[in-house]
Amino acid sequence: MSQSPVDFEVANKFEPPSNTQFNVFLDNRVGRLLHLLEVFENQALTLAGFSVLEATGHAVVRVLTSRAELARRLLSRFDYPFSEQEVLCVELDAEHHLSQVFEYLMGAELSINYAYPLLVRPRDRAVVAVHCEDITMAGQILRRKLFTLLGENDLGENASGSAPDE
């Protein structure tokens, strides 16, 4: 499947799909990570992305789901301290490589704060979550380069199996 080129003006007005990442703060104690994961089990959402940053005495767990509003309510209900950030979910395939994502963003002088692979593979393709200083600009650049950007509806039970643009 090929995508048609994106007009420059259209790309500049483009707002990337919404993906809310939760940064959950955990004490470094036995069982805390397991309990956090259990909060999302048997819920009407998919745990699409997960990354752990450990520091002395605590950890920050980055969580990306298919339903941010439900995830927000669950984290609040179980009294987990958390913050939120928007991330881009970039689909990779034979013509669109991870190194190109970084090359194009670096070419625009956008700092990439972090990236991590997702647990889900919509349409059987790898997906990476990327956080950088200007998500909107990054989304515009990647769309001009014909990358497919996924929103939370593409990451779980609502995924259609076809390109989000179709």
8 Å CB contact between 86 and 51: no
Domain boundary among 65, 85, 105: 85
Tokens of 117: 């692979």
User: In CATH, what number is assigned to the domain containing residue 50?
Assistant: 3.30.2130.10
Residue 57 lies in a domain: yes
- pLDDT at position 156 is 83
Helix (H) or strand (E) holding 128: strand 127-132
Q: Is 163 helix (H, G, I), strand (E, B) or coil?
A: coil
Please write the tens of the pLDDT for every residue from 46-75: 999 999 998 888 999 999 999 999 999 999
CA distance 20 to 41: 19
Domain boundary among 69, 85, 101: 85
Together in a domain, 123 and 148? yes
- pLDDT at position 2 is 40
Residue 162 DSSP symbol: S
Residue 2 lies in a domain: no
Place of tokens 């789901």: 65
Together in a domain, 37 and 70? yes
Together in a domain, 36 and 62? yes
Together in a domain, 48 and 77? yes
Together in a domain, 72 and 113? no
8 Å CB contact between 42 and 48: no
Together in a domain, 93 and 81? no
Spatial neighbors of 76 by CB under 8 A, at least 6 apart, are: none
What is the reported pTM?
A: 0.84
For 133-154, letters b (16+ CB in 10 Å) and e give eebebbbbbbbbeebbbbebbb
Q: Distance of alpha carbon 122 from its chain centroid, rounded?
A: 13
Residue 49, beta-bridge partner list: 64, 118
Residue 131 lies in a domain: yes
pLDDT by position in tens, the chain (length 166): 344 444 544 555 668 898 999 999 999 888 899 999 999 999 999 999 999 998 888 999 999 999 999 999 999 999 999 999 999 999 999 999 999 999 999 999 999 999 999 999 988 999 999 999 999 999 999 999 999 999 999 998 755 555 555 4
Number of domains in the chain: 2
Together in a domain, 27 and 51? yes
Domain, as residue range, for 57: 20-85
Place of tokens 């450990």: 54
